[in-house]
A and B are shown apart, each in its own frame.
Chain A
Amino acid sequence: MSTASGIHRARFDHVSLEFATPKGQLRVVEDVSYDINDGDFIAVIGPSGCGKTTMMSMLAGFQKPTSGKVMFDGHPVAGPGPERGVIFQEYGVFPWLTVKDNIAFGLKLQANHVPVAERDQICEHYLALMGLSDFTNSYPKHLSGGMRQRLAIARAYAVKPQFLLMDEPFGALDAQTRANMQNLLLNVLATEGKTVMLITHSVEEAIYLASRIVVVTARPARIKQIIDVPFTYPRDESLQERPEFGELRSHIRELVMSEYRAQQAQLRPASFSE
């Protein structure tokens, strides 16, 4: 069952999930199985509302599958934990803390054992890296959406989780900042050797960053195709000029578009009935 290369860290094993809604059971994830191996970079791509966030939150420990198993390090996921860092789609920046205190939040927690002397240094490092130094003592209400997103990323990186779950982490950023953040992530991975599950809308982002791409269907999310990305690390932006990159992009784009059309077809009759 398990893939040949590496040790699997996380596993979705025939996972399905239904939400109880006032209109009845809503099936959001259906019979999803795949492994995430140590050092993998998995990108999950699919139409919005299909169930990507739900899938990730089962691995993060916030949802329990209705059937099947979600495993992490050999055990069924029982709840959230600091070894699985999460960057939320809604950022979740703490509004009552300044920018610096947001980054320091995790560093001050007992579980992370960061000596007081190092905290400031780590904060400064990420403030500079994320271009937030001028806002060190500002409250999040003074930040733009893109800055809040970078703050959420900094806060998650600061505690150095070995496994990163990232839910559309660069969605609010302009093209230039987004490219910077992607390269920064590649750097962090090269130096710290992380395992990543990233949800994205962008086919280019998925190919540029990931070692494997999981294309999921319109709701309920099923696996449409799992694609190995044939490029080795380290990668740089010249990769995006290569013809193989373009071919892969066309292929995945076609897969995603067909699911997008399927979703539209699902939605149309529903909108008539309302």
Chain B
Amino acid sequence: MDGSVARRFLLGLAPWVGAVALWYGVRWSGFVNASLIPAPHQVAAKFVELLLQEGLLFDVFASTRRVFLGVMLGILVAVPVGFLLGWYRPARTFADPMINFFRALPPIALIPLVIVYFGVDEVAKLVILFYASFFAGVIVMYEGVSQITPLYIRVAQTLGAGEFEIFRKVIIPLTVPHILTALRVALGVAWATLVASELIAAQRGLGAMIQNASTYFLLDVIYVGIICIGCIALIMDMILRRISSRLLVWQERAVT
């Protein structure tokens, strides 16, 4: 048991070690101007500096909070909407083109409009993240819900279940996996949209930090920002996967 845990840990670690090695390799190979690639240890030093002197944690907190709120609000709306679209076929035929239309718009293209309608405050950033999470989540939800087989509902009916019992005891358990998938997808999309949302006059946040750094060509700061975003997204995803595997022990292919 212990051996297999250690092995899995090493297996998980190996690609990271490889990535860092590749990073050094590219820098030292001379193919790319070394001044354009800060070395990993320089980035690490910058990270410590930002953490201790520039309040990097504030940026991390600001961004995480935005993503979290945007995803929560987006999913809160996406779950019922996606459910209804998946459940009622006519609703789907009716709403499908519209959803795909809005989903195809890159959030960054909407920023000018968002500024006009929502100003440049926190609300504007949340609107962008909400938009991205909602459309990612709603698609996952309705695809999932529309694939629920009527078999289980029929079984429940023949056992004597009423409408409400069917909803609570059959439809909800069958929907939970899709809600969790929608959450995961939305989280991924929201982190990807974060930098765009922080284009709107943000003072703090990892996206804002990256943009400010790019103005002054501070490559090491940009690297720190990018790695932070990746790490936080990874941690959030791991937490969600933990929750999923707890809630979905019954699934044939439970996420592990």
Contacts and interface: CB of A to CB of B under 8 A. Distances in A.
A79 B156 contact: no
A139 B160 contact: no
Interface residues of B, number: 20
B250 A92 contact: no
A154 B161 CA distance: 17
A55 to B, nearest CB: 16
B250 A88 contact: no
A82 B159 contact: yes
B2 interface: no
Contacts of A106: 159-160
Interface string A58-73: 0011100000000000
Interface stretch (B43-51, B80-88, B102-110, B169-177): B169-177
A218 interface: no
A51 B6 CA distance: 56
B251 interface: yes
B239 interface: no
B67 to A, nearest CB: 30
A236 interface: no
Interface string B141-182: 000000000011011111111100100011001100000000
B154 A88 contact: yes
B160 A111 contact: yes
B160 A96 contact: no
Given A95-B251, A109-B161, A155-B159, A88 B170 contact: no
B250 A79 contact: no
A141 B160 contact: no
A82 B250 contact: no
A85 B250 contact: no
A88 B151 contact: yes
B255 interface: no
* Best-buried of A81, A88, A94, A97 by chain B (most CB within 10 Å): A94
A106 B252 CA distance: 24
Contact of B252 (A61, A92, A141): A141
Contacts of A96: 173-174, 250
A199 to B, nearest CB: 15
Contacts of B169: 105
Contact of A141 (B162, B170, B251): B251
A80 B158 contact: yes
B249 interface: yes
B252 A82 contact: no
B144 to A, nearest CB: 14
B251 A60 contact: no
B158 A82 contact: yes
A84 B155 contact: no
A60 B158 contact: yes
A110 interface: yes
Contacts of A86: 154-155, 158
Contacts of A84: 158
A82 B160 contact: yes
A92 B152 contact: yes
B155 A109 contact: no
B165 A109 contact: yes
A110 B164 CA distance: 11
A112 interface: yes
Contacts of B250: 95-97, 139-141
B164 to A, nearest CB: 9
B179 to A, nearest CB: 14
A112 B161 CA distance: 9
Given A88-B151, A109-B160, A111-B162, 10 more contacts: A80-B154, A80-B158, A85-B159, A88-B154, A94-B173, A95-B250, A96-B250, A109-B161, A110-B165, A140-B250
Which 6 pairs from chain A and chain B are nearest by CB? A82-B160, A111-B160, A106-B159, A92-B155, A80-B157, A86-B158
Interface of B: 151-152, 154-162, 165, 169-170, 173-174, 249-252
